[in-house]
Amino acid sequence: MRLSHLALAVLALSACGPAGEAQVAQNPPVQTAPPNAPNQKPAFPEQTRAPEQKLGVAYEVQTLATGLNHPWSVAFLPDGSKLVTERAGALRILSADNKLSPPVAGLPAVYAEGQGGLLDVTLDPAYATNGLIYWTFAEARDGDANGTSVARGKLVPGAQPRLENVQVIWRQTPALESPLHFGGRLAFAPDGNLFVTTGERSIIPGRMQAQKLDAALGKVIRIRPDGSIPADNPYVGDPQAKPEIWSKGHRNVQGATINPWTGKLWTAEHGARGGDELNHPEAGKDYGWPTITYGEDYSGKPIGDGITQHEGMEQPIYYWDPVIAPSGMAFYNANLFPAWKGSLFVGGLKGYLVRLTLKDDKVVGEERLLSELGFRIRDVRVGPDGALYVVTDEDDGRVLRIVPKA
């Protein structure tokens, strides 16, 4: 039996190319529960319920920090320390020897209600010379309205860390009265431009603007690091459109990462009851919400006309029904876990980490890890050391490091 598993692991590894391509045996899918919308059919065979692919990688989980208040994101500083956001509004530095700093001073006020709060954090590509970091947060606006905002500032580490020269470089408009669906992931592209994901705020007045070009609700946004608009954005010059829009028709995009082999953006977004999606959004394209989607509304009724395809609207690369509740995501492009090289990892708020095997930009294998812990996985990153780092969205939130089992 052990020889058989070893042979399968070697076969899987030998089949993996630089972009995670692999041949996968036609095993049953991981998901065995019936879909919420049983009459819906995928648009192509690999679009949902890919075969389960267990690579048999032995790992251990190290706990680097506990006691965090619903941590949302982690980013790596050059000195081996890490930035960690807490949704309640604190940014902390986790030192290389795993000590948490006091909250970093200088953050703008955060609207920390419902799903809102301090969200993603990332470093400027030129951090080594400019010291800039970027973060997303839910921000109160006029009256009771609020929305997603992006800020940047210079990080000054130390015993009492602080931010200097803080600027809010982008604000989602229109602002709405809702504590839901802020999106909030950041991803720097190889060309230096910054992708920002948003949600459509869940309420019907926001949902119906996800495909409208005069609103930044339910969109992927593309801006320069100073908040200005790249000249090659798809709607630049259209007086009826917001020029920062990259793609439209999204629900609540909480996962975003750059494919290191192609330089293209990939995203994961929440569906309702079913319909979680994996996409790689392209300029000027419409990803369908709420006209087309898989799954159903929380009421059990169809969403809109209950259709899953429409001319001029893009299909997801992959969808889940029932949901995994996707959040942070990362491609594995390191050497610590050779068998995982090329895999795409997606955090699942349902209590596991999803590993996907890709071939020609299609999902051909799925594996679920860390289910033994039962934590809501809010973010996953590949560290400079090749380990996987995970943050758990809990009252007693943790930063975890996944390394090969000794």
222 and 246 Cβ atoms separated by less than 8 Å: yes
CA distances from 280 to 110, 118, 316 (A): 30, 25, 8
Quick check: 179 and 201 in contact, CB under 8 A? no
- Asked if omega into 322 is within 30° of 0 (cis), the reply is yes
* Token pair 């921000």: residue: 139
The label of the residue with tokens 């750059």 reads 258
Q: In this structure, are residues 121 and 83 in contact, taking their beta carbons and an 8 Å threshold?
A: yes
Q: What is the Cα 191 distance to its own chain's centre?
A: 20
Q: Taking phi first (over 0 means left), then psi (-120 to 50 degrees means alpha), and beta for anything else, what does residue 165 get?
A: left
Q: How far is CA 95 from CA 18, 104, 164, 399, in A?
A: 33, 13, 20, 12
What three-state secondary structure class fits 264? coil
What are the phi and psi torsion angles at 323 (to 5°)? -80, 160
Q: Which of 70, 181, 250, 270 is catalytic?
A: 181
310 is catalytic: no
Instruction: For the chain, report the end-to-end CA distance as a whole number of angstroms.
Output: 22
Would you name the residues annotated as active-site residues?
181
